[in-house]
Structure 1
């Protein structure tokens, strides 16, 4: 009976220790993903601080991954990144040693949306979870009102922009106006400049919706354009001007007659 009592006490102590360890471990973990929102083509910083969870860490070996795959890995001067992020990811080494393992993502794309998790690798075998970040990406949207004959500049926002499509105000179909590197499609509809495409000499039938799309057909930006007729604008200006008519002339003549009658006695006295 005594042995059973000792075993029972050891079991209770063991469970109590596990409960304490569980509470300490859970309290050190972040409560949930950090939410980051960024427009297409901009730079996003996915936050990560490792010193709050690891002290006196001898090697800075950081991993970033999504639920599906490894995205980025850095161990000293050795770096690796997934092909779809090639040239767009980095963790500054000087900040990494200071405890900042934040991932810098350049030229953010709609396809980058998702959950990212960071880990520090200990002794090449054990990974310690640091932070999860939920990244959302949104397109650029704008409404413009311009006059006939003006030039429309459509900003591309990212080197990944591949097409510009147009839907007329009274149409349900989309027309391709510009495609990167395809002269046959462009045919002078839009002129490409540095980071923009230009539609020159706006007409009334240019009113409608313009979309910039990336290589996956995802929307980079949406511009809704209303082209105003210049004649209407000029007509509005003329209406605001006060017209000169017969009533104005007659009024001026009457005032002149009254003035002459008032000063004529004075003139006679002087003579």
Structure 2
């Protein structure tokens, strides 16, 4: 059953990507807005119904947002509906809708949210019928996070999970071609690996050279949330540098002693010069 859900999710994402690319290649692509975001961030899909309906607001604002597979969000007055994959993540602010802003706000965006979205306003038509008016087409692209980290042996690494949908962390050693499971959501903390109680972060303690390699954070569908390249290298310590500087910097007493010796030498040279002139 779990593998079926993963396959269904993958096919839905593939469908969005394919249909989105077909629309982009058509003559309507000039009216499609493009939004780029990263996993875990907030994405705002712009929409203004005044561009299609004029300045006068409908008696009850009824907005729909849809992707090629179907409706993902709908709001009519105080009533709203969200598709299961957008549960508690999608919103059109009610206080802005009446003034013309029908933008869809998607929180905690995921790779699977990638695709083309279309907004519609449902208005009264002839003979008490309802008419759906197209407002805006938006292409959303969501990318994973990529970074390179460098730490010294014995130091800690804080690995960001970015989202509550992060499910698994896998590791590939620097000289290995195999991936191994490092952490799964629900695992208990160990001596070297600890999940933050509130933040979506993992802390790897007391790094060793064998911890050098690639770390991937994956969501429940196996899609990448982040990729981290870790280098573990020896570092020069600050006290040694400070000691060198201290050995090269004269103290106040030494400076005063050197100045007194210089004045004595100059005095002797002046006396010798005056004696020679008298002779």
Q: What TM-score does the superposition give when structure 1 sets the normalisation length? A: 0.73
Contact 1:91 1:104 (8 Å CA) reproduced: yes
Query: 5 Å matches for 1:92-131?
Result: 92-123=93-124, 125-131=130-136
Please list the CA deviations of residues 170-193 of structure 1 after superposition, one character each: whole Å capped at 9, or x if unmatched. 00111111111033xx64441111
Contact 2:192 2:206 (8 Å CA) reproduced: no
Task: Give the aligned partner of residue 54 of structure 1.
Answer: 53
Task: Give the aligned partner of residue 26 of structure 1.
Answer: none
Contact 1:113 1:137 (8 Å CA) reproduced: yes
Q: What TM-score does the superposition give when structure 2 sets the normalisation length? A: 0.71
Please list the CA deviations of residues 91-119 of structure 1 after superposition, one character each: whole Å capped at 9, or x if unmatched. 01111000010000000000000000000
Task: Give the aligned partner of residue 193 of structure 2.
Answer: 190
Query: 5 Å matches for 1:46-85?
Result: 46-55=45-54, 56-85=57-86
Structure 2 residues not aligned, in runs of 5+: 1-27, 249-260
Instruction: Tell me the distance in 1 between the aligned counterparts of 2:238 and 2:87.
Output: 51
Tell me if 1:199 matches 2:199.
no
Question: CA RMSD for the aligned pairs?
Answer: 3.1
Task: Give the aligned partner of residue 246 of structure 1.
Answer: none
- Report SS of the residue matched to 1:52: helix
Tell me if 1:42 matches 2:7.
no
Q: Flag the structure with larger Rg.
A: 1
Structure 1 residues not aligned, in runs of 5+: 1-28, 244-255
Instruction: Tell me the distance in 1 between the aligned counterparts of 2:186 and 2:64.
Output: 37
Tell me if 1:32 matches 2:31.
yes
User: Quick one: structure 1 residues 205 and 242, their matched pair in 2 at CA, closer, same or farther if it must change by over 3 Å?
Assistant: farther
Contact 2:153 2:232 (8 Å CA) reproduced: yes
Count of paired positions: 224
Tell me if 1:213 matches 2:214.
no
Instruction: Tell me the distance in 1 between the aligned counterparts of 2:239 and 2:117.
Output: 56
Please list the CA deviations of residues 145-187 of structure 1 after superposition, one character each: whole Å capped at 9, or x if unmatched. 111111000011111111111111000111111111033xx64
Deviation at 1:128, TM superposition (A): 0.4
